[in-house]
Amino acid sequence: MSYTGPDFDAPRPRRPRRGPLTVALAALVPGALLGWVVYEAVGGSGPGGGDRTASPAPASRASTLSSAPAAPASPGDDAKVSASPSARPDSSGPLRGKVVVVDPGHNPGNFRHPAEINRQVDIGTHSKECDTTGTSTNDGYSEARFTLDLAHRLRTLLERQGATVKLTHDDGAPSWGPCVDERARIGNTAHADAAISLHADGSAAGNRGFHVILPGSVHAGAADTRGIVGPSHDLGVRVAGNYLRETGEPPSNYLGEGTGLVTRTDLGGLNLSTVPKVFIECGNMRDSKDAALLTSGAWRQQAAQGISEGIVSFLRDS
């Protein structure tokens, strides 16, 4: 996902190694901050709204609106997952009656509709583009393909827990977008108990790791996040901790000061949400180590598992 866009605007499966990971993370992440994230995710109580605001990162890549994406890299087994129909929610599952909206960042068809996705929309604090094409690995595996595959995996896991899951777009419908304001509106209209937007970053090589983006307090125009800042923070902390545990992907080494958490007030998908919502940047597609994970179907299943466990933890306690 690009920080200049609206809402950012053959790899091998690898299992996490928990023992050595602890040592490696100690060199990357301040121990107290990492321990706090993991503690919160596995059962600690979320803080009551004292979010620390981080400045948006500088633009890390040029816009790709004017050109079609490169030939796609091997997607692992995303084609098989994408073709699988969604299962009905388990009526006896612990999340029975809960609604989760999953927002796959960008859309594979966006590059065919530059005029539509460049259209300005109001996000409360200012106007910005409807959407962007997103980023891709150096081998051409696009962020839009990654997020849609991850969304399918996540939907399956959550439905097994009894949740009703709605995607903001799916398998080419609509053929572009939706715009960032509409993505927020879908969650609001569904009265979602939790919403999450899935992304992968397009930062410089050497920048590694994931980060979860939390909504800051905004009250301007149509945007009023004051009622969701607290619960969204709780959701984000739980997603971050479970994602770290399941994937072994470290917290970002270039944003969030090692916590894996970043607060922003310039994203339409968060500003316009009236339900608890976070974004997750699952890794950096422009870094070779992260790209090897993001293009692995087996690893994407681990990523979906971690995100699912974070959402389940939040919904069980909310």
Query: How distant, in Å, are the alpha carbons of 41, 119, 302 from that of 307?
Result: 11, 31, 9
Q: What pLDDT was estimated at residue 296?
A: 98
Type of residue numbered 155: R
Q: Please, are residues 220 and 125 in contact by the beta-carbon 8 Å criterion?
A: yes
Residue 248 inside a domain? The answer is: yes
The answer to whether residue 106 scores a pLDDT higher than 60 is yes
Report the distance separating Cα 96 and Cα 19, nearest Å. Answer: 36
Contact 250, 287 (CB under 8 A): no
Look up residue 39 and give its two tokens. Answer: 């503690």
Q: Which tens digit of pLDDT belongs to each residue from 290-302? A: 999 999 999 999 9
* 35-50 confidence digits (pLDDT tens): 444 444 433 333 333 2
Q: Is residue 232 part of a domain?
A: yes
pLDDT tens digits for range 154-164? 999 999 999 99
Q: Which helix (H) or strand (E) holds 262?
A: strand 261-264
Residue positions annotated with a catalytic role: 281
Residue range 217-246, pLDDT digits in tens: 999 999 999 999 999 999 999 999 999 999
What is the token pair recorded at 93? 């599952």
299 within domain boundaries: yes
User: DSSP 3-state assignment of 127?
Assistant: strand
Q: Domain range holding 210?
A: 30-42+75-87+98-317
* Residue 88 pLDDT level (bands cut at 50, 70, 90): confident
Give the distance from CA 71 to its chain's centroid. 24
In a domain, 1, yes or no: no
* Contact between 236 and 261 (Cβ < 8 Å): yes
pLDDT of 132 strictly over 90: yes
Q: Are strands 261-264 and 211-215 parallel, antiparallel or unpaired?
A: parallel
Q: How confident is the model at residue 53 (pLDDT cuts 50, 70, 90)?
A: very low
Domain count across the chain: 1
Place of tokens 């996902």: 1
Q: Has residue 278 been placed in a domain?
A: yes
| Structural contact between residues 61 and 202, judged by C-beta atoms closer than 8 angstroms | yes
Supply the CATH number for residue 271's domain: 3.40.630.40
In the predicted structure, residue 13 carries a pLDDT above the cut 80 = no
What pLDDT score was predicted for residue 281? 98
User: What torsion do the CA atoms of 31, 36, 38, 44 make, to the nearest 10 degrees?
Assistant: 160
Indicate whether 127 belongs to any domain.
yes
Q: Is residue 275 part of a domain?
A: yes
Instruction: Provide the pLDDT for residue 14.
Output: 39
* DSSP one-letter string for 287-301: SHHHHHHHT-HHHHH
Q: Is residue 273 part of a domain?
A: yes
Note the pLDDT of residue 91: 76
The answer to whether residue 314 scores a pLDDT higher than 80 is yes
Q: How confident is the model at residue 130 (pLDDT cuts 50, 70, 90)?
A: very high
pLDDT band per the 50, 70, 90 thresholds, residue 24? very low
**How much is the pLDDT for 48?**
32
CB contact set of 237 (below 8 Å; sequence gap of 6+)? 37, 40, 41, 46, 212, 261
Lowest mean pLDDT among 23-27, 75-79, 195-199, 233-237: 23-27
